[in-house]
Chains A and B, each alone.
Chain A
């Protein structure tokens, strides 16, 4: 069974940093593109970033470009999102998702990031 387990969410002040992790199991992690998607409280889904199997092809939403860094450790089956210069508007539930032919076929339960002073 595919499982994705996010962690690392916390309350952080504006301008601060945070590192999210997503532990994958139940599939060959190194074979798949992976994504981060976020959802602000009571709002819709917003795509954040993706990277390919070896981590060399990376794309970001404009709203996070230059502030967030997506990466992966295939040996440990883990996806990361390093977040810096955090803003109030980055407050959201952050999901990691597995990619299969242009769809997110598996999602984690999400980890909550709150940016507030």
Chain B
């Protein structure tokens, strides 16, 4: 099974400042078709998760362009260029290369 590890687990950020979350997988998430099956989700307080980034670097519909995903193979990063108050919540990465799909532990972003 693929293990996915996130860091940090807690991320206090000042509004307007950038933020970065790391995600590492125990094996490459590159599919033979050339796609990399890594997605990022945000779960805001009291809400269901929502997808932010898919296939490692593609922004989902309606997601502000201050969110970006990068990385390849086993190392990935979610970046927020300028954090806003509405960005608070828990961020998860998830590998969808093979079952069982696996999520990272989650990174709780809070506003300083």
B51 within 8 A of A: yes
How far is A108 from B49 in the complex, measured between Cα atoms in Å? 9
Pairs A-B, 3 closest by C-beta atoms: A102-B96, A103-B54, A59-B99
**In the complex, which residues 84-111 of chain A have their Cβ closer than 8 Å to any Cβ of chain B?**
95, 100-105, 107-110
Q: Judging by beta carbons under 8 Å apart, are B50 and A107 in contact?
A: yes
Query: Tally of A-B residue pairs with Cβ under 8 A?
Result: 63
Quick one: given A47-B101, A47-B102, A59-B100, are A103 and B51 in contact (CB under 8 Å)? yes
> Which one of A45, A60, A61 contacts B49 once the chains associate, using CB atoms below 8 Å?
A45
Which A positions have Cβ atoms within 8 angstroms of B? 35, 44-47, 50, 59-62, 95, 100-105, 107-110
In the complex, are the beta carbons of B48 and A108 less than 8 A apart?
yes
Flag whether B67 is at the interface (Cβ < 8 A).
no
Chain B residues lying within 8 Å of A104, measured Cβ to Cβ, are 39, 41, 49, 51, 94
Q: Tell me if B37 counts as interface (CB < 8 A to partner A).
A: yes
Q: A107 and B101: CB pair below 8 A?
A: no
A50: nearest residue on chain B (CB-CB)?
Answer: B99
Q: Are A103 and B100 in contact (CB under 8 A)?
A: no
Known A-B contacts A101-B54, A102-B55; A45 and B48 likewise in contact (beta carbons under 8 Å): no
Q: Could you tell me if A61 and B100 are in contact, using CB atoms closer than 8 angstroms?
A: yes
Cα–Cα distance between A100 and B60 once the two chains are bound (Å)? 11
User: With a CB–CB cut-off of 8 A, which chain B residues contact A45?
Assistant: 41, 43, 49, 92, 94, 103, 106
Sample of 5 more A-B contacts, CB < 8 Å, known A45-B103, A62-B100:
A35-B101, A44-B92, A46-B103, A50-B101, A102-B97
User: Quick one: which of B2-42 are within 8 Å of A by CB?
Assistant: 35, 37, 39, 41
Q: B105: CB under 8 A from chain A?
A: yes
B27 to chain A, nearest CB (A): 16
Whether A102 contacts B103 by the Cβ 8 Å rule is no
For the complex formed, measure the closest distance between the CB of B110 and the CB atoms of chain A, giving whole angstroms: 16
Q: How many angstroms between the C-alpha atoms of A104 and B53 in the bound complex?
A: 11
In the complex, residue of chain A having the shortest beta-carbon distance to the beta carbon of B47? A109
A109 surroundings in chain B (CB, below 8 A):
48
Residue contacts A-B, CB under 8 angstroms, 17 given: A44-B92, A44-B103, A44-B105, A45-B106, A47-B101, A102-B39, A102-B54, A102-B96, A102-B97, A103-B39, A103-B55, A103-B94, A104-B39, A105-B54, A105-B60, A107-B48, A108-B48
